[in-house]
Chains A and B, each alone.
Chain A
């Protein structure tokens, strides 16, 4: 029994951590350039819905993934126009995008199931390779790639320069708007992809507010890992472990109300943020809009 449970936890932790890791890696690049995408939750949720929706209507899961990414890019354009081009509050824009994600995904979901199917049709999931979802492979490959990009390439240096001191980067001839917008679009497209991995990577279903704060958990991972791609892998695994333990509670009928087990990831997130807050050092210009004075 104990070995069973340990084996179960071992095999599911990676599965549960995949969407959070993908979203966190994207968010990390965005934040390194100075853009905090608080709308990540809504972006993930819309990516999740659109990939589910496209998979049903187009009958192809890979097109579903593509739609998840495209959704991320489209929402990224809206967010970036507000926060980067117009210099509006990243917090308020993010709050608006999260509202938009909940409202639009639930509206379209209700419409889809009531009109066309009368029930929630499963889409199936992307076939696994050696028992592991391609989303997980992708997430694991992204970690070293993003590390290499940030610390070993000129473009990565530019991103970090823009995040620390956009005025100096601007004087040095770096196009701050272009760098920030590219990083934000990378972040939101990965948020959309993370949504896909949740809907058609593991369950083959969509439900109302399916992401359930995983976007906020991804932001927490970025803070916990102190904006380091390698450490963010461990941050995501922590939450994967918590989700796995939560499912053990439910699967093995541990006599705790299911609502209580659902709070585990949020409680762990708050405790982890608390533990990390003393040494957390955010990019200096995070959330500070750059508007060239001219």
Chain B
């Protein structure tokens, strides 16, 4: 993605208003009152700290994946397979949580590393195909998502299934591996610190290191980068390892902060078995951040708010939460129309 003039803070707000407005038209078309739906939803946020906290709970994985995607999009490498990478990272972390018996710090370190490596391994396939054979990474990275999630689903209904319960889920992971809640009465855990650290690390890589300079050079044009002596294959490989590894780490945070087990619907929208979830939302989070990793904190918060709203809206007003996927899409398209993203 070419660097572009920075988005002002008003643009996402305008896009959000457009999104909610068009969403309201669709809600009205379906025979519900959009004003009542929105009002009853947003007033819910003031009813308990838990509900406000959910915004951050949803934002945490989006921030981690989004920061990683910013990196690959800056290299003009279209990794849209974050969802699969997240699941593979989550799967490996679950195996550690289930079968390793150790202390909390050791759990933390091994699970983060293993989740990172799992995500990176899944992301390695599209990038290797791109480097070696020039295969279109948009298609391969996307198709890797349903493959990962379907195969993991087969494990969840088969060998990894908790024999006690009817649901397709594993047993709970060891309680020592759970991340501690840092704000009482919410589900906000220490994963927030991990997410902020990931965002800052990506910022430092992209804007303060020679690798970041090379990544941006590759993004501006592969030929020019190659002509100036850069090893484009190595740069793309490193970019993708970091980018997809972070998606795996997001799987770790979901596991140790929210679910404490691997299950169908691990990433919301898992009902689509690989076609919706944090990995797809984070694409929009990263695109809205426009090449600035630090901005993913803000854009992830916007999408965290939308996701938290979607559940409240379903509970409070009986409006199916799928409407928020539509609103998110309209926001993305509006931003694309208003501001040139490449």
Report Cα–Cα, A277/B132, bound state, in Å.
10
Query: Which residues of A are found within 8 Å of B135, using beta-carbon distances?
Result: 270, 273-274, 277
Query: Which residues of B are found within 8 Å of A230, using beta-carbon distances?
Result: none
Query: Which residues of B are found within 8 Å of A209, using beta-carbon distances?
Result: 272, 275-276
Q: Is A82 a contact of B320 with CB atoms below 8 Å?
A: no
Question: In the complex, which of the residues A106, A115, A259 contacts B153, with contact meaning CB atoms closer than 8 Å?
Answer: A259
- Count of residues in B whose CB is under 8 Å from the partner chain: 51
Report Cα–Cα, A93/B138, bound state, in Å.
13
Does A7 sit at the interface, judged by CB under 8 A?
no
Kindly identify, within residues 136 to 173 of chain A, every residue whose CB is under 8 Å from any CB belonging to chain B: none
Query: Which residues of A are found within 8 Å of B325, using beta-carbon distances?
Result: 99, 102-103, 106-107
Query: Which residues of A are found within 8 Å of B80, using beta-carbon distances?
Result: 95
Query: Which residues of B are found within 8 Å of A260, using beta-carbon distances?
Result: 150-151, 154
Q: Is A91 a contact of B144 with CB atoms below 8 Å?
A: no
| CB of B132 to closest CB in A, whole Å | 9
Does A294 sit at the interface, judged by CB under 8 A?
no
Query: Which residues of B are found within 8 Å of A177, using beta-carbon distances?
Result: none
Flag B262-295 by CB within 8 Å of A: 1 or 0 each. 0000000001110110001001100100000000
Question: In the complex, which of the residues B136, B280, B333 contacts A82, with contact meaning CB atoms closer than 8 Å?
Answer: B333
Q: Is A100 a contact of B326 with CB atoms below 8 Å?
A: yes
Kindly identify, within residues 318 to 342 of chain B, every residue whose CB is under 8 Å from any CB belonging to chain A: 320, 322-330, 332-333, 336-337, 340-342
Question: In the complex, which of the residues A102, A108, A220, A278 contacts B275, with contact meaning CB atoms closer than 8 Å?
Answer: A102
Q: Which residue of A lies closest to B324 (CB)?
A: A103
Does B142 sit at the interface, judged by CB under 8 A?
yes
Does A254 sit at the interface, judged by CB under 8 A?
no
Does A97 sit at the interface, judged by CB under 8 A?
yes
User: What range describes how many residues of A lie at the interface?
Assistant: 35 or more
Query: Which residues of B are found within 8 Å of A107, using beta-carbon distances?
Result: 26, 30, 320, 322-323, 325-326
Q: Is A277 a contact of B147 with CB atoms below 8 Å?
A: no
Given A107-B26, A208-B272, A273-B139, are A89 and B322 neighbors across the interface (CB < 8 Å)? no
Report Cα–Cα, A209/B340, bound state, in Å.
29
Q: Which residue of A lies closest to B158 (CB)?
A: A257
Question: In the complex, which of the residues B140, B320, B327 contacts A111, with contact meaning CB atoms closer than 8 Å?
Answer: B320
Report Cα–Cα, A273/B130, bound state, in Å.
11
Does A122 sit at the interface, judged by CB under 8 A?
no
Query: Which residues of B are found within 8 Å of A110, using beta-carbon distances?
Result: 320, 322
Does B298 sit at the interface, judged by CB under 8 A?
no
Given A213-B275, A273-B139, are A103 and B337 neighbors across the interface (CB < 8 Å)? no
Query: Which residues of A are found within 8 Å of B157, using beta-carbon distances?
Result: 257, 259
Flag A251-294 by CB within 8 Å of B: 1 or 0 each. 00000010110110011011001100110100000000000000
Query: Which residues of A are found within 8 Å of B332, using beta-carbon distances?
Result: 92, 95-96, 99
| CB of A251 to closest CB in B, whole Å | 19
Report Cα–Cα, A89/B341, bound state, in Å.
6
Report Cα–Cα, A87/B337, bound state, in Å.
9
Q: Is B337 a contact of A91 with CB atoms below 8 Å?
A: no
Does B229 sit at the interface, judged by CB under 8 A?
no
Q: Which residue of B lies closest to A211 (CB)?
A: B275
Question: In the complex, which of the residues B30, B150, B333 contacts A262, with contact meaning CB atoms closer than 8 Å?
Answer: B150
Report Cα–Cα, A27/B79, bound state, in Å.
22
Kindly identify, within residues 130 to 173 of chain B, every residue whose CB is under 8 Å from any CB belonging to chain A: 133-136, 138-140, 142-144, 146-147, 150-151, 153-154, 157-158
Q: Which residue of A lies closest to B143 (CB)?
A: A266
Q: Is A96 a contact of B151 with CB atoms below 8 Å?
A: no
Report Cα–Cα, A212/B341, bound state, in Å.
27
Does A5 sit at the interface, judged by CB under 8 A?
no
Query: Which residues of B are found within 8 Å of A102, using beta-carbon distances?
Result: 272, 275-276, 322, 325
Chain B positions within 8 Å of A, measured between CB atoms, are 26, 30-31, 78, 80, 125, 129, 133-136, 138-140, 142-144, 146-147, 150-151, 153-154, 157-158, 271-273, 275-276, 280, 283-284, 287, 320, 322-330, 332-333, 336-337, 340-342
Listed A/B pairs (10) with beta-carbon separation below 8 Å:
A78-B333, A82-B336, A86-B340, A95-B284, A99-B325, A99-B326, A102-B322, A262-B150, A263-B146, A270-B140
Other than the given A104-B329, A262-B146, A270-B129, 6 more pairs (CB < 8 A) read A93-B336, A96-B284, A103-B325, A106-B322, A216-B143, A260-B151
Nearest 8 interchain pairs by C-beta: A103-B325, A103-B326, A99-B329, A100-B329, A257-B154, A259-B154, A106-B322, A107-B322
